[in-house]
Amino acid sequence: MRVFIAGIDGYLGWPLAIYLRANGHEVAGADLLLRREWVAEVGSLSALPIATREERLRAFHETFGTELDFRLGDLTDYDFVKGFFADFQPEAVVHLGQMPSAPYSMIDQTHCVWTQQNNVINNLNLLWAIKEVAPAAHLVKLGTMGEYGTPNVDIPEGFFEVEFRGRKDRLPFPRQAGSWYHQSKVHDSHNTHFASKIWGIRATDIMQGVVFGTQIVEMGDDPRLHSRLDFDQCFGTAINRFCCQAVIGHPLTLFGLGKQKRGFLPLADSMACLRLAVENPPAPGEFRVFNQFENAYSISELAYIVRGVAADIGLEVEIRHYDNPRTEMEEHYYQPDRRRLLDLGYQPTRDIKSVIKRMMLDLLEHRDRIEAHANVLIPDIRWDGRRKRSEIIG
């Protein structure tokens, strides 16, 4: 299948190109390499060294024997997107090309507006380009479990049957996202649903949990094929950040009580699920929503797992609570459904400890890179708009 990957240089985009190619698909993609700039802007770098675009292209060619059509370009530039689609004629479009950090979007007015402008417009452009030059293509849009927030009821996959004052309807499940970034994804979900309704676009809206991990087997041993891994307060998500902290002996940073629950999944599971979505497209005009995660964990539960794995390989780490820079509920009900990907054949990794061990071994080789940037591990971007480093509260 011809699969277009928007954001092909990113943490998920690059492994996905490899994974889909290794599984027989024809891949092309676009990226403006902005993730590299954002991470530098917040004073950090990828814990694992990553190759330049040119090196990645050479390695891809050497490994798979085909050129990768990976163009530098801005997805908010409609002519670029439309022209690329006209050339490549995608059958599936996986949209990973967005600014993905909640704290980055919360820095100030400029970052808030930029995030929403970039994410909303580039998603609209993909929808329009599908409509205008590849109308049979299936859009696999990366959203986030964070779009739902933490309601006091079960979280279905996108829609639910409601009885209200004696009448019934099937309605979109309400979204209560917790950052300007997460809000941008909610806007995208609404726009995508509407486009499928009026134009008959096939769409899968992936409500993905937090991804962790350094490797997929398809990368092999060539370091030029490896993906990035971030640990800073903006782009370093929970387990990735914990592992980086563990390998340099920094306390694991829980925000507030640490009882916040979220869905998580290993990088390999994310790839497998995206492939399942791509290979099993919905009917024309169908807008389906998948909740995509291996399991739901509380943040402190994960910190204790990471500490346990660290101990197994001889690293001693402590867990500390910091005052929470975010406005969020720290204790709440959390029961999201996860049925549709299982029905398509998704087999969740049950052993996340092995994944975490693999991560720590990979990261240990580059501990100097993390140590040199350890000041980005403590958050100072606060949801109330102030800029103030979190302090240890327990």
Q: x/- binding map, residues 84-103, to its own copies, per CB under 8 A?
A: --------------------
Q: Could you say which residues in the range 249-308 bind its own copies, by CB under 8 A?
A: none
Among 221, 316, 351, 384, binds its own copies (CB under 8 A): 384
Centre a 10 Å sphere on the Cβ of residue 359 and count the other Cβ atoms it contains. 28
Q: Given the rule CB under 8 A, which of 2-10, 66-74, 127-135, 368-376 is the region that contacts its own copies?
A: 127-135
Do the Cβ atoms of 33 and 53 come closer than 8 Å? yes
**Residue 49, interface with its own copies (CB under 8 A)?**
no
Site for its own copies in 58-87 (CB under 8 A): 78
Pairing, β 202-208 against β 295-298: unpaired
Nearer to its own copies, 212 or 287 (CB): 287
Least distance in angstroms from the C-beta of 199 to its own copies: 7
154 binds its own copies (CB under 8 A): yes
Q: 6-25 mask for its own copies (x: CB under 8 A)?
A: --------------------
283 exposure class (CB count in 10 Å sphere: 0-12, 13-18, 19+): exposed
Q: Pick from 26, 58, 160, 367: which binds its own copies (CB under 8 A)?
A: 160
Under the criterion CB under 8 A, does residue 169 sit at the interface with its own copies? yes
Look-up of token digits 């087999």: 347
Note if 185 is an active site residue.
yes
Considering only residues 187 through 206, tell me which ones interact with its own copies, judged by CB under 8 A.
187, 190-191, 194, 197-199
Of these residues, 104, 181, 297, 322, which one is catalytic?
A: 181
Assess 383 for contact with its own copies (CB under 8 A).
yes
Rounded CA-CA distance 126/131 in Å is 9
Binding part of the chain for its own copies, among 13-21, 115-123, 201-209, 260-268 by CB under 8 A, reads 115-123
| 386 binds its own copies per the rule CB under 8 A | no
| Nearest Cα residue to 144 out of 279, 41, 237, 68 | 237
Q: Distance (Å, rounded) from C-alpha 253 to C-alpha 27?
A: 38
Active site residue 259: no
Regarding 124 and contact with its own copies (CB under 8 A), the answer is yes
For residue 80 the two structure tokens come to 């670029």
Q: Site size for its own copies, by CB under 8 A?
A: 50
Q: Which of 24, 37, 168, 316 is the binder for its own copies (CB under 8 A)? A: 168
Structural tokens at position 168: 């019934």
Bridge partner residues of 265 (DSSP):
211
Stretch that binds its own copies, among 23-31, 40-48, 114-122, 360-368 (CB under 8 A): 114-122
* Contact string (CB under 8 A) for its own copies, positions 132-151, x = contact: x------------------x
Q: Is 11 marked active-site? A: no
Q: How deeply is 230 buried, as exposed, middle or buried, from its count of CB atoms within 10 A (0-12, 13-18, 19+)? A: buried
Cβ distance to its own copies smaller for residue 167 or 350: 167
Extract the tokens encoding 236. Answer: 């370093």
Q: Identify which of residues 16 and 124 has a Cβ nearer to its own copies in the complex.
A: 124
Q: Which residues of this protein are in contact with its own copies, per CB under 8 A?
A: 78, 109-110, 112-113, 116-117, 120-121, 124-125, 128, 131-132, 151-154, 156, 160, 162-165, 167-169, 171-178, 180, 183, 186-187, 190-191, 194, 197-199, 327, 333, 383-385
Catalytic machinery residues: 144, 181, 185
